A and B are shown apart, each in its own frame.
Chain A
Amino acid sequence: MSTTPDIGNENYSLDVNGRAVDIKDSWIGESLLYVLRERAGLPGAKGACEQGECGSCTVVIDGKAVCSCLVLAASAVGSKIVTVEGLGENGHLSDVQQAFLDCGGVQCGFCTPGFIVAVHHLLESNPNPSEHQIREALSGNICRCTGYGRILEAVQKVAVERKTK
């Protein structure tokens, strides 16, 4: 990405998936979503509404699931950021990722990374969610393809698997 001196030349460092990512010559107005995608080489978070309605850009910042389109990147300095790319270990799929595949929770896949992050976050804070709790916790993530049925099944599958482990 070319530099934009007339637009801005901010330099800072972000802690993403446990690694320091240096951001150079950026414009101060850039969202965390933009910086992750266009400057940090992490395109997993997706932009679909730019106003925090759809959850496609969900990442975890200091333990909270947030819409990265609503966060100024420069304001995330000093925070621990986890994106979908930081979830599996050594390139292996996480249990949530595997369950999405097994249950048919993926069609076009555009909402999928945001959902995967949100489901990990849900099951860490509530390992045994009821169907209502799953539906409410994930109601900030919009899926246009699946009608949510296969995603519900995937979340329930992981919850059961983790309990029996």
Chain B
Amino acid sequence: MNTTSTLSPPRHGTLGTSASRPDGVAKVQGGFAFSSDMWAENLLWGATLRSPHPHARILRIDTTAAWKISGVETVITAEDVPGKSTYGLIMQDQPVFARVGDTVRYAGEPIAAVAADHPETCKRALAAIRVEYEILEPVLDPERCIDGSAPSIHPEGNVFRHQRIVSGDPDVVGDVVVEGIYEVGMQDQAFLGLEAALAIPDPGGAGVELYIATQWLHEDRKQIAACLNLPEDKVRLVLGGVGGAFGAREDISLQVHTCLLALRTSRPVRIAYGREESFYGHVHRHPATIWMRHHASRDGRLVKVESRMVFDGGAYCSTSPAVLINAITHTQGPYRCENAVVDGWALRTNNPPCGAMRGFGVVQACFAHESQMDRLAAACGIDPVEIRLKNAMQTGDRLITGQVVDSVAPVAQCIRETASIPLPPDMGDEPDVLDLPGGSGRTADRRHIKRGVGWGVSIKNLMYSEGFDDYSTARCRIDDGVVTLKFATAEVGQGFVALAQQIARTVLGVDDVLLDTIDTQVGSAGSSSASRQTWMSGGAVDAACRAARDALLDAVAVEHGLVRSRLTIDGTDIVDSDGSFRVDVSQAARGKRIDETREYHHQETEDLDENGQGNCHVAFAFVAHRAVVDVDTELGLVKVVQVATAQDVGRVLNPTNCVGQVEGGIAQGLGLAVMEEIVVKDGRVRNPSFTDYLLPTFLDAPVVDMVFVEEFEPKSPLGAKGVGEPPCISVTPAIANAIRNATGRELPRVPVRPYDICL
């Protein structure tokens, strides 16, 4: 850049700089305590017995033989749950343990738990528990829950939510009409840090402390306390180091079981899932079937979008209703469209429970609408980029829910910036074998390789929706010159701990900022999901720091007899604007004690009415992706060569961490496009391991070239939008469109499997 600025660059460690993570040194040295690393004197191991059947009635549970094994300290079942017997985020429909006389509703449902002196003893104890089942026919087809032909498998019925959206003129017809049926497979979050927890009982069983890797400490506590029949203040949660989350830690998994075992034995208990159990222990991304029909004018302007979306929620509710609402309210994508008819269903089956995963319903909708946009471009005879630009949404446009997009909406700019990123060079006649599809497998043949380019553009809501007040709390304390922040925001890898320090350094003009333990000894922060913590917890930390700064300036004014309104912080100094006074903040804060706690709430939102109308979302972010792929058409192998992207971020607060979110999200979207799927047959997961559930490796990861579109978001407390989810949303259809471009195949389903391409 050759522009000249009179502004000095931001001070190191403040907002806008790549401040380093405060947990980084411990993480590279191996000393960072993940929840699976927690240890206590006199520790017992816990383990969980699970149903092998997707649908069965439990006739009898006999734990006698397990109790007799030396080293086994306790065996618990549904009879031992002292409080509420079920839990859940939206509907409390999931049993802590399945009860005798009741049914298990998915393969992997917990039935009993043991605590013993060694993991191997636990394994033997679980094997010694005898359960008699009456096998029942599983309900596996969600369509049968819609037409009512399936029997109800839960007292709450088989429909989690049915919602329509009718907007504008439902009967209008376009000059050009394209339609398709699209499918998205069940994806796993596949965080590396497996579910693990350590529960330490209070003397006499009056309470319990739980070290847990979770996304939302306070929501966990609410559900746990109800099941334990303890007051919430007797259940203290401390964030154990979180090895990734991506939505899979929004729901309870081993929390109640671990606490129950600890309270029962009066000893610390640790449960740590293995990888196979993890596939049964948390919810997954919903598999979905989506019909869409787009109407457009001859020149490619959208006239109407119609859709029917069917989301298989599996056995328990989790967040299915909210996932569905996200999907249907994002049907139009980042495009202007006045008329719509959308019908959405989220249903209960005996398949594995599904819930939150990065992108939260929008991933499925986006795969369908972006596949349709390419179809529409072809039908209108115009370029895929041109049709997207032609329909690109702007601030002030109205969604099909009637909500006006009042966020910054630089959709066209995202598309143009992405298009301006240079394409990668051709493969050449004699490529390195590692550049071929299939990589180190070395099976692809240069002569069968075709290159394709594809596009995807998306809109994603930020924060929780439909009237939910997912506020966040933060405390800023200045004690004799030392600044300490406290919040319950789950650091799951995204780098909020770095951001919090950056905010405090910027607002308070100090360099050293301590972070207190992340636990439930302060107000709720809401969940580390929905791309919301930069906005919400960032807003809370900012507000608390500003309050502390104001208190400090008040005190300094009194102390030195200065005019308060003339005092500001300049860099690391408190200054009087008349130039008469300047003192280092840390020095000025010595001997003072300031303690300020603030909550940040976002603007109120509304429920949708029966026609799907209402201001249900808080704000939106946008992103464009262009994927370049090489496809071996003979073997069906795909190599994603490059992903170019421009993302609407409001403002970059930490460049390195933003880049990391974008590259990481793209890798996950690539996984859904070409390799990741939980294969479920007859209600059973067939590939619950990293041998059979394929994750993108170093060799699969594409070159990512990115641009951040920085247009300050006035609604956001820091001007920034969450960057976590958008990267993984439209990259999936971009890759699918690129493979279609290379092969000419329809490919209505992701992940695209080799046989979808070559057979």
Contact = CB atoms under 8 A, between A and B. Distances in A.
Contact of B32 (A27, A34, A45, A109): A109
A83 B665 contact: no
B225 to A, nearest CB: 27
B493 A142 contact: no
A147 B28 CA distance: 17
A141 B71 contact: no
Contact of B689 (A51, A140, A145, A147): A51
Interface in B22-56: 23-25, 27-34, 36-37, 42-43
B contact face: mostly helix, strand, loop, or mixed: loop
A49 B191 contact: no
B656 interface: yes
Given A4-B118, A54-B192, A139-B699, A149 B243 contact: no
A1 B690 contact: no
A63 interface: no
B467 interface: no
B192 A108 contact: yes
Contact of A107 (B31, B43, B70, B493): B493
Contacts of B586: none
A112 interface: yes
Given A104-B657, A107-B664, A139 B24 contact: no
A110 B690 contact: no
Given A54-B192, A145-B664, A84 B29 contact: yes
B663 A149 contact: yes
A27 B118 contact: yes
Interface string B659-670: 110111111100
Interface in B168-205: 190-194
A135 B43 CA distance: 41
B193 A108 contact: yes
A84 B25 CA distance: 12
B24 A101 contact: yes
Contacts of A51: 275, 689-691
Contact of A132 (B191, B275, B432): B432
B275 A49 contact: yes
B274 interface: yes
B71 A7 contact: yes
B192 A50 contact: no
Contact of B660 (A46, A116, A145): A145
A110 B192 contact: yes
A139 B698 contact: yes
Interface in A124-165: 132, 134-136, 138-152
Given A50-B275, A107-B664, A139-B699, A4 B30 contact: no
B3 interface: no
Interface in B111-131: 117-121
B242 interface: yes
Given A7-B71, A88-B29, A110-B243, A101 B20 contact: yes
A48 B24 contact: no
B37 A149 contact: no
A32 to B, nearest CB: 15
Contacts of B244: 107-108, 110, 144-145
A61 B691 CA distance: 23
A149 B34 contact: no
B701 A148 contact: yes
B163 interface: no
Contacts of B434: 132, 135-136
A100 B704 contact: no
Contacts of A139: 439-440, 697-699
A contact face: mostly helix, strand, loop, or mixed: loop
Contacts of A42: 30
Contacts of B190: 144
Contacts, number: 204
B659 A7 contact: no
B695 interface: yes
B495 A107 contact: yes
Contact of B30 (A1, A85, A102): A85
B28 A29 contact: no
A23 B667 CA distance: 41
B30 A7 contact: no
Given A49-B690, A139-B697, A146-B663, A2 B117 contact: yes
A97 interface: yes
A87 to B, nearest CB: 8
Contacts of A27: 118, 120
B493 A145 contact: yes
B728 to A, nearest CB: 10
Contact of B698 (A84, A113, A138): A138
Nearest to B274: A50
Given A108-B192, A144-B190, A149-B659, A93 B690 contact: no
A106 interface: yes
B194 A48 contact: yes
Interface string A17-56: 0000000000101000010010000111111111101101
Given A53-B689, A139-B699, A7 B121 contact: yes
Interface in A74-122: 83-85, 88, 93, 97-98, 100-104, 106-113, 116
A126 to B, nearest CB: 15
Contacts of A132: 432, 434-435
B690 A147 contact: no
B34 A110 contact: yes
Contacts of A43: 30-31, 33, 37
Q: 3 shortest A-B CB distances, which residue pairs?
A: A44-B30, A108-B493, A109-B27
20 contacts: A6-B121, A43-B30, A44-B29, A44-B30, A48-B192, A85-B31, A98-B28, A104-B18, A107-B493, A109-B23, A109-B241, A109-B243, A110-B34, A110-B191, A132-B432, A139-B699, A147-B665, A147-B668, A149-B701, A150-B656
Given A85-B30, A104-B657, 17 more contacts: A1-B43, A2-B42, A4-B118, A43-B31, A46-B192, A47-B272, A53-B689, A53-B690, A84-B30, A100-B28, A101-B24, A104-B659, A110-B243, A139-B697, A141-B698, A147-B665, A152-B698
Interface of A: 1-2, 4, 6-7, 27, 29, 34, 37, 42-51, 53-54, 56, 83-85, 88, 93, 97-98, 100-104, 106-113, 116, 132, 134-136, 138-152
Interface of B: 18, 20-21, 23-25, 27-34, 36-37, 42-43, 69-71, 117-121, 190-194, 241-246, 272, 274-275, 432, 434-435, 439-440, 492-495, 656-657, 659-660, 662-668, 689-691, 695-699, 701, 704
